[in-house]
Amino acid sequence: MKLIPTEVIWFDGKLVPWDEARIHVLSHTLHYGGGVFEGMRAYKTPRGPGIVRLKDHMKRMVDSCRIIGMDLPYDVDTLCHAVVQTVSRNKLEEGYIRPLAFRGYSQLGVDPTGTPLSVIIAAWPLGGYFGEEAREKGIRVGVSSWRRMAPDTHPALAKAVGNYLNSQMIKLEARRHGYDDGIALDVEGYISEASGANIFLVREGEIWTPDVGSSILRGITRACVIKLAKEMGRVVREERIPRSALYDNDEVFLTGSAAEVTAVTEIDGRKIGNGTFGPIARSLRDAYIDIVRGKVEDRFGWMTILPAAKQKAPAGA
Ligand code: PMP
């Protein structure tokens, strides 16, 4: 995700200019990885910019803090308000929003007790997470030699900064092999997830996705897709899934706030289905995109719509 600077970043309650949102090099999180973050999108809708499942993202951020033992100085409502402020002040019509809670400067050593906590919220324009073409054509992936963390090592359900070293190893290896992303197995060899997205398989009309015991992040887009699939009358199974099921199905797709609903057309050199964006994945992608872009009614109450940014009056007007 290329960073495209916007005007301001919310920093502990203040909106500071993008270039001035700085921290000390001896900040605790930079050294030991204790922090949590979120990632969500705002889409342009006919009524103004719409943020997808804002409250659920902020709840997960608060939950992530609880899991890793960080006393976040803000509640869910304050964080939601701060996100709205950040998007509005930057006059962003659509893009990506990144809240981050981190430990600052006061002491080093693994014991984080007493380190000051800070929260920032930044937002910038973002197109397709895997590139524009992948939104239609899908992506190629390989199974990673890096496993997801065991359930008693890192807290996979927390969107914690330190967990993303694992994601980076998966992504770097995948890129080295010429893939768009890697699929990680859990410590027992069951399918877990991609480096930054959940995975779904479709076989004979039924939809399968790894359960929360498979070292996944409890994805919010995953929840959206499960809801939409059930609404369409489809069977959705959240279960442990063996690796071999990656290869003998009709469709595979990934879900994520950034990744949206992206088809996987090839895994480890084997074509999935007929190698195109499959019909069930496509119907779920379309149903999701129609809601977030405000093309259909927001029947599940997922969207927070902001007043449309005021356009600058044309010169001479
Ligand atoms: N798994 C991982 C490891 C992720 O980083 C993400 C992106 N947040 C997801 C799954 C998808 O989660 P969500 O749909 O909430 O963005």
Same fold, 8-124 and 134-292: no
- What pLDDT, on a 0 to 100 scale, did the predictor assign at position 138? 97
- What pLDDT, on a 0 to 100 scale, did the predictor assign at position 286? 98
Q: Which of 2, 159, 271, 310 is catalytic?
A: 159
pTM value is 0.96
- What pLDDT, on a 0 to 100 scale, did the predictor assign at position 186? 98
Q: Which residues line ligand 1 (CB under 6 A)?
A: 39, 167, 193, 196-198, 217, 219-222, 255-257
How many CB atoms neighbour CB 48 within 10 A? 16
CA of 117 to the centre of ligand 1 (A): 23
Q: Which two tokens stand for residue 295?
A: 């093309």
- Sequence ranges of the domains in the chain: 8-124, 134-292
Note the helical H segments in the chain: 28-32, 54-68, 76-89, 134-137, 164-176, 220-231, 279-292
Catalytic annotation on 312? no
Q: For 316, left (φ over 0), alpha (ψ -120 to 50), or beta?
A: left
- Determine how β-strand 270-271 pairs with β-strand 260-267: antiparallel
- Cα gap 15→40, rounded to integer Å: 19
Q: Going by CATH, does the domain composed of 8-124 fall within 3.30.470.10?
A: yes
What is the third-level CATH fold of 134-292?
A: D-amino Acid Aminotransferase; Chain A, domain 2 (3.20.10)
Which residue type is seen at 298? D
- What pLDDT, on a 0 to 100 scale, did the predictor assign at position 317? 41
- Cα gap 155→175, rounded to integer Å: 26
- What pLDDT, on a 0 to 100 scale, did the predictor assign at position 307? 86
- What pLDDT, on a 0 to 100 scale, did the predictor assign at position 309? 66
Name the stretches of the chain with pLDDT < 50.
311-317
Residue nearest atom 4 of ligand 1, based on CA coordinates: 196
DSSP element (H, E) containing 194: strand 191-194
